[in-house]
Amino acid sequence: MIGLYTKNVGAVWFGAACNHKEVFATSFALSQEKVLWSLLGNIPYNIPFQQFKEPSVFAERALCILKNIYNGEGSKENLPLNTEHLSEYARKVIDVVSMVPLGYVTSYGSVARVAGGSSRAVGRVMAFNPFPLIVPCHRVVCWDFTLGGYGGGSDVKLAILSREKRGYSVEAEVSVCGGKLRLFPVEFVLSKLAKIRAESKY
């Protein structure tokens, strides 16, 4: 049985679809209805589900982590994700993107060089990411540090990244799936967008 859980924090609703030990999907939106529709669209079709008013201990933990990531605080805790219903390639992309730490971004191309496929293929997986915030697809941007797509909208993506800046100034890399994933400070993206906006005024 998969439980659907939602929680309102300020103006934002957070949602998690999980059993007592694994997360099947997460979501966030400005309305509870949108969160529930997103969760329903991402859980396996062959497993029974039920909406619960009160979160379980595990669900409460997941909802708290979602809120912290959304607020730019990040999380040191890794939740077990159920990805059995996803393709092998989607699972690999998710594994790679999950390694992008707070304060950094990577590019679609950098993910593709580790996971395989093309930048566009990575973008397609991220467009249907069933674990937003937990799998930080908001930290994947274009090669030129423009935002690229985001299911919640580019303004939401920018707002989350703005809260995640940590004052880093140099590139880094992380070992994942037998390759090296390039990382760039969030500040690179924010500087790029500030430059674009300044130039658009003229």
**Same domain, residue pair 108 and 191:** yes
Domain range enclosing 170: 88-200
Asked whether residue 35 is assigned to any structural domain, the reply reads yes
Task: Give percent of the chain above pLDDT 90.
Answer: 86
Respond yes or no: is residue 137 known to be catalytic. Answer: yes
Question: What pLDDT sits at residue 83?
Answer: 95
Please check whether residue 154 lies inside any domain of the structure: yes
Q: Is residue 77 domain-resident?
A: no
CB 104 within 8 A of CB 172: yes
60 inside domain: yes
pTM: 0.94
pLDDT tens for 142-177 read 999 999 888 888 999 999 999 999 999 999 999 998
81, 157, 156, 87: which is closest to 121 by C-alpha?
87
pLDDT at 100 (0 to 100): 97
Asked if the structure places residue 83 within a domain, the reply is: no
Contact between residue 21 and residue 80 where contact means Cβ atoms under 8 Å apart: yes
Q: How far is CA 36 from CA 100, 148, 200, in A?
A: 27, 25, 38
> Are residues 57 and 108 located together in one domain of the fold?
no
- State the DSSP H helix or E strand holding residue 155, giving kind and residue range, or none if neither: helix 154-164
**Number of domains observed in the structure of the chain:** 2
Q: What is the pLDDT of residues 99-141, one digit of tens each?
A: 999 999 999 999 999 999 999 999 999 999 999 999 999 999 9
Residue 177 confidence (pLDDT): 87
- Asked if 13 and 113 sit in the same domain, the reply is no
Tens of pLDDT, residue by residue over 83-96, are 999 999 999 999 99
d(C-alpha 12, C-alpha 67), whole Å: 9
Q: Which of 18, 137, 142, 177 is catalytic?
A: 137
Q: Is residue 12, in this structure, part of any structural domain at all?
A: yes
Which amino acid is located at 115 in the chain? Answer: A
**Domain harbouring 158, CATH code:** 1.10.10.10
Q: Is the pLDDT of residue 76 over 90?
A: no
Interatomic CA distance for residues 120 and 5, integer angstroms:
32
Mean pLDDT over each residue of the chain, to the nearest integer: 94
